């Protein structure tokens, strides 16, 4: 019998019986959405776990990003990375803003501070960097550029749940930071997301914007959206939080195993982990070097033939998608990485047999 396929990730599901009491509570309260008790408890629990002062839950990371940008009342151009998931640029465009893509730096593939500074014009109002794969951006340099030029910063922290540096959560950087709790993320609520902010006034503004823009029963403060997280998802988040440290530990073991294995596989380089003191091991990106006997796409196919399904995060670059509404450009570092990157499977339920199969397949794929 052939082995079952191994995908790049698998959602983390705690034991079903542990979820039943939460569902019973929801059935008893009859409260299904609109900021109910589970929602309130999850906001408080996440603030505590992440070490952030205020957090506003959303029904997905994309709506969180859209509302975060709306809340800052931006205009004109927003500098961002072409090396990300399309949601980053879509959220900018949804706000009627013009995404200006600039290149990434070669070590962690995060926005290059020099490239940001070179792209600033009198029309620039904000920067949207991505903590790609959970590796923190050069926040000191980016925040300093923003201060110098009077720009807002919204970090797309979709990959960066729980990541900390020596001074605390990396979500404290910028004006706002946005998380995704999509099923495939390190911490999930089926679908979900959040905006982290510094003060209560901003939290209340975000709360209004995600609730249609309503301020009380008869005042419409803005053209808001419906970005509310439902109670079942919020309850699932509370349960996930109980398991998160075990899940992160399991990811760490896989990361360590891959890094050791790759030392003996010339031509395949693991992307280094960055300045974080607490990591989340959300992805395992590998760069296929020119010295490797196969191209990235040949390696992808070769692994798929052995039932190992890696993913090309991030290929193509956002502006290079067919029918993309975004202007093309010259981003040599991002394009080179996009042509050579392959993310290997990493998730808490990955068994040691499966891990061995992946390493064996990498060794054989020559
Ligand atoms: C970098 C990045 N930004 C934004 C998103 C959007 O999050 P969501 O899927 O929760 O809408 C994702 C992932 O899905 C992502 O990877």
Closest CA to 18 of 241, 185, 183: 241
| Residue bearing tokens 């949601």 | 87
Note whether 34 and 88 are same-domain residues: yes
Note whether 183 and 332 are same-domain residues: no
Note whether 87 and 207 are same-domain residues: yes
Q: Are 112 and 118 in contact (CB under 8 A)?
A: no
Note whether 234 and 279 are same-domain residues: no
The residue from 205, 239, 273 where one domain ends is: 239
> Does any ligand 1 atom lie closer than 6 A to the CB of residue 348?
no
pLDDT tens-place string over residues 120-177 = 999 999 999 999 999 999 999 999 999 999 999 999 999 999 999 999 999 999 999 9
Note whether 257 and 325 are same-domain residues: yes
The residue from 220, 239, 258 where one domain ends is: 239
pLDDT band at 32 (very low <50, low <70, confident <90, very high): very high
Alpha helix locations (H) across the chain?
Answer: 16-29, 37-50, 61-71, 86-94, 113-119, 139-149, 200-209, 231-262, 296-305, 332-340, 352-364
Would residue 1 count as lying in a domain?
no
> Does any ligand 1 atom lie closer than 6 A to the CB of residue 80?
no
Note whether 163 and 106 are same-domain residues: yes
pLDDT tens-place string over residues 9-28 = 999 999 999 999 999 999 99
Would residue 7 count as lying in a domain?
no
Would residue 143 count as lying in a domain?
yes
What's residue 263's pLDDT?
Answer: 96
Rounded Cα gap, residues 295 and 312, in angstroms: 12
pLDDT tens-place string over residues 156-172 = 999 999 999 999 999 99
Would residue 4 count as lying in a domain?
no
> Does any ligand 1 atom lie closer than 6 A to the CB of residue 337?
no
Rounded Cα gap, residues 71 and 180, in angstroms: 18
Would residue 322 count as lying in a domain?
yes
Note whether 248 and 234 are same-domain residues: no
Q: Which atom of ligand 1 is nearest to the CA of 87?
A: 4
The residue from 185, 204, 239 where one domain ends is: 239
> Does any ligand 1 atom lie closer than 6 A to the CB of residue 85?
yes
pLDDT tens-place string over residues 286-330 = 999 999 999 999 999 999 999 999 999 999 999 999 999 999 999
Cis peptide before 316 (omega within 30 of 0): yes
Number of structural domains found in the chain = 2
Q: Which atom of ligand 1 is nearest to the CA of 64?
A: 11
Note whether 34 and 171 are same-domain residues: yes
Note whether 72 and 168 are same-domain residues: yes
User: Domain span at residue 210?
Assistant: 16-239
Task: Please give the distance, rounded to the nearest whole angstrom, from the Cα atom of residue 179 to the centre of ligand 1.
Answer: 8
Mean pLDDT across 88-111 = 98
> Does any ligand 1 atom lie closer than 6 A to the CB of residue 63?
no
CATH (domain of 110): 3.40.640.10
Task: Please give the distance, rounded to the nearest whole angstrom, from the Cα atom of residue 353 to the centre of ligand 1.
Answer: 30
CATH (domain of 356): 3.90.1150.10
Would residue 269 count as lying in a domain?
yes
């Amino acid at each position: 019998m052939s082995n079952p396929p191994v995908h790049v990730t698998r959602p983390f599901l705690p034991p079903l019986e542990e979820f039943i009491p939460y569902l019973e509570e929801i059935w008893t309260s009859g409260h299904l959405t609109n900021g109910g008790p589970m929602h309130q408890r999850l906001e408080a629990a996440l603030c505590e776990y992440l070490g952030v002062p205020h957090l506003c839950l959303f029904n997905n990371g994309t709506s969180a990003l859209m509302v975060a940008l709306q809340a800052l009342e931006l205009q004109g151009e927003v500098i961002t990375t072409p090396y990300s998931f399309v949601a980053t640029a879509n959220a900018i465009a949804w706000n009627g803003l013009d995404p200006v893509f600039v290149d990434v730096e070669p070590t962690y593939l995060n926005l290059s501070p020099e490239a940001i500074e070179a792209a600033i014009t009198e029309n620039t109002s904000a920067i949207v960097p991505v903590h790609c794969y959970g590796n923190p951006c050069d926040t000191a340099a980016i925040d300093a550029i923003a201060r110098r030029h009077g720009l807002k910063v919204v970090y797309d922290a979709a990959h960066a749940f729980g990541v900390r540096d020596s001074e605390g959560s990396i979500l404290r950087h910028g004006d706002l930071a946005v998380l995704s709790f999509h099923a495939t993320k390190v911490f999930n609520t089926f679908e979900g997301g959040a905006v982290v902010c510094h003060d209560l006034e901003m939290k209340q503004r975000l709360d209004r914007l995600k609730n249609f823009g309503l301020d009380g029963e008869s005042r419409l403060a803005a053209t808001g959206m419906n970005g509310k997280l439902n109670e079942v998802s919020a309850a699932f988040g509370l349960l996930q939080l109980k398991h998160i440290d075990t899940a992160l530990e399991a990811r760490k073991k896989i990361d360590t195993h891959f890094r050791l294995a790759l030392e003996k596989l010339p031509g395949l380089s693991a992307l280094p982990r960055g300045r974080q003191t607490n990591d989340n091991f959300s992805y395992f990106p590998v760069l296929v070097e020119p010295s490797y006997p196969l191209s990235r796409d040949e390696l992808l196919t070769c692994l798929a033939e052995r039932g190992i399904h890696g993913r090309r995060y991030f290929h193509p670059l956002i502006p290079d998608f067919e029918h993309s509404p975004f202007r093309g450009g010259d981003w040599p570092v991002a394009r080179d990485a996009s042509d050579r990157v392959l993310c290997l499977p990493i998730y808490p339920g990955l068994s040691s047999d499966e891990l061995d199969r992946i390493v064996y397949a990498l060794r054989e794929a020559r």
